[in-house]
Structure 1
């Protein structure tokens, strides 16, 4: 009997070690984090990711063109639409003839044989025409809006049996730099289309300046000047339209707009300019456009590459110290007046509210001061001011909500001045894909709690719905492993995925669910030959628990 027990103990010990080895192997690991911790992809380099993915896209398209030239038409279309050989993580191929008909598609095969002449993105850009026009030049990059994000696409022309085709693939960088370039290029495309259709420059520049319009993306906005230096569009401060900015100097005394105009006089490609604005380094991308009368303008957008969540917290701490020493009235003036620079860092600014929701200070909009915003909702129906107050009362930290077509993180703390309680805070729009992933997951979690599972799931599964951001979509598993939502893929709903394995044979769904059971965290596993990162969190509603998450391929 003792020998039998010993024998069983050894078996149990070996199996336990083996199970732990499988569950914690590097190719499929979990990094558990709290709600306000980092997004779980330590050392994520947005530029390296974007640059690497561009290489991957180009290589996939070049490989497809070579295959097309060596094989017959039908075999090629089959391979591009179905073969794993032409799938690289989320990357897939598409093929169009020069009559705008889709002939192959590695993701959305329902588009095959469709004449897509009239397909336009949300900005009105004729996407298929852009693809074919680029193929006619040989090859090159374009970008357009798809699934609530900017997609960067590489296109190459190909020929077979006397007919010409466009073969391409693309990805969603979701980085600040790429979003800046895309916003300008989409504006340039829109401007040129308006000119061709006989529209007016005034109308298109007005659209660029509309603060709630489609050319606003969080803290990214457009501005445009004619080549004499007059401001013709301004998405941040439209009140300065019509004034001259030719003599605008940065903190180092450089005439930035003169430099941009001078360089674009002789260049037909976009340019980058680096300078100091509002006490921080700013990078601005600009392109030249010409109206029907030959008048030249530049359209530009800029961002602050060094502002991050650490800078947000530091600014709040600095503002807290000032307000505690000088009082609420002095803080309101110091934090709100645009001419005051000490409590700004690039596009970062401070806000202060009392605990009933009245705005005491606002670094971006002086008109908000004195207005109670307790009942103001964000673009998803949340009450951001209530969130801020609740978080501050609970000890401070991060809240998130959606505004200006983007998600925002805002850090808040409670402060008591002269016996009165206030909330002081500062916000930042996400600068990386992992941050965006975390935000849409938290947004989805809130929707389940607010709307109930069925209504929320109906929103998650909508193609190009509000819970889609490029290749970021929402998935939901119950804790038994049943798939309830998998982006817009209805074929996955109700599948038992508990024992589903990744490329290395590891049960990744089980790992995702176990991570959710601990609250929230990141899981990394291998799929389609690439590492994929997942952010997941537990959501409880009506006595049931769910693992709600999103994912993207990292390398």
Structure 2
């Protein structure tokens, strides 16, 4: 049995020290948000393709294909990994040189959860399922919440995971700057149409643009819910009773721009989480983009 490489153990320890268990997370049986559902579907599809490939081509060819970084089983942040029922990693699309040939039965995530052991036990009992844990997202080099689907094929367990989209303050500010520039370039009405377009450039992951009239308190745009356009939301309150729209209007009127903190449903996760909206006054409207706090 091959011992875990020292570099991996040190990296994992750093993750464990810098990350804590999830807070404000939706329960595992809660309905998924639209964005998370789309990410989950991608992971499920890749897992089904991998299982079919393994059954058709056998272990030697399949595990080689799964461990090819630029192969068909690595799609963006999604990749396949395979573990024997004995806990031995036999294929890994993201880090084959580190993990393949290593017994990972007791591997823990950044919050100390023994997710591999849970996966193996449940696969042996039920054949398939999902497990939640915290892991390094190689696309942004951050430890984030991850959900992995798994299925047992003969004596091996295949798994594909996905990360929940969670944008940063910098990304929110970048979108707000683009939204303001769009309004100045094309005019308010044309910009609102772009902000409300579900397939447009102003809805990305858990980020979207909203615009509210300062005088009438009505939505001019709401990327997450365009059906609310025209509704008076001046008296809207968050889950804790905070009059967030009134604060946004007051802040934009008095200072021109700023940040309003509140709690709101994250459309990506369908969970109520702390949110921070960056707002800016543009003529007679408040334009804003919010981002959700990272789970701690």
- The normalised TM-score by structure 1 is 0.30
Given the superposition, is the C-alpha separation of residues 227 and 319 from structure 1 closer, same or farther in structure 2, using an over 3 Å criterion? closer
* Other-structure match for 1:359: 219
- SS of equivalent residue, structure 2 residue 293: coil
1:52 aligns with 2:30: no
CA offsets 1:493-518 (integer angstroms, 9 cap, x no match): xxxxxxxxxxxxxxxxxxxxxxxxxx
Q: Aligned to 1:209, which of 32, 35, 42? A: 32
CA offsets 1:451-471 (integer angstroms, 9 cap, x no match): xxxxxxxxxxxxxxxxxxxxx
1:224 aligns with 2:224: no
Contact 1:284 1:303 in 2 (8 A): no
Shift of 1:265: 7.7
Shift of 1:228: 4.3
1:349 aligns with 2:208: yes
Given the superposition, is the C-alpha separation of residues 401 and 345 from structure 1 closer, same or farther in structure 2, using an over 3 Å criterion? same
Shift of 1:431: 2.8
Q: Aligned to 1:303, which of 156, 165, 183? A: 165
* Other-structure match for 1:31: none
- The normalised TM-score by structure 2 is 0.53
Given the superposition, is the C-alpha separation of residues 366 and 265 from structure 1 closer, same or farther in structure 2, using an over 3 Å criterion? farther
- SS of equivalent residue, structure 1 residue 380: coil
* Other-structure match for 2:22: 179
Matches within 5 A, 1:354-503: 354-355=213-214, 356-395=216-255, 396-404=257-265, 405-416=272-283, 421-431=284-294
CA offsets 1:285-344 (integer angstroms, 9 cap, x no match): 2323459xxxx986644234xx43233233222211210221121111212213222x35
Distance 1:335 1:254 in 2: 35
CA offsets 1:198-239 (integer angstroms, 9 cap, x no match): xxxxxx5xx33268xxxxxxx9889534844699xxxxxxxx
Distance 2:71 2:185 in 1: 34
- SS of equivalent residue, structure 1 residue 325: helix
Distance 2:293 2:39 in 1: 21
Shift of 1:432: 7.1
Shift of 1:368: 2.3
Shift of 1:253: 11
Given the superposition, is the C-alpha separation of residues 346 and 398 from structure 1 closer, same or farther in structure 2, using an over 3 Å criterion? same
Shift of 1:261: 6.6
- The CA RMSD over aligned residues, in Å, is 4.5
CA offsets 1:500-542 (integer angstroms, 9 cap, x no match): xxxxxxxxxxxxxxxxxxxxxxxxxxxxxxxxxxxxxxxxxxx
Distance 2:77 2:171 in 1: 29
Given the superposition, is the C-alpha separation of residues 374 and 254 from structure 1 closer, same or farther in structure 2, using an over 3 Å criterion? farther
Contact 1:351 1:424 in 2 (8 A): yes
Contact 1:328 1:360 in 2 (8 A): no
Given the superposition, is the C-alpha separation of residues 255 and 347 from structure 1 closer, same or farther in structure 2, using an over 3 Å criterion? farther
Shift of 1:376: 2.0
Unaligned 5+ segments in structure 1 are 1-46, 55-172, 188-203, 212-218, 232-251, 434-555
Shift of 1:348: 2.4
Given the superposition, is the C-alpha separation of residues 361 and 230 from structure 1 closer, same or farther in structure 2, using an over 3 Å criterion? farther
Question: Greater RCO between the two (CA within 8 Å, min separation 6)?
Answer: 2
Contact 2:210 2:222 in 1 (8 A): yes
Given the superposition, is the C-alpha separation of residues 299 and 361 from structure 1 closer, same or farther in structure 2, using an over 3 Å criterion? same
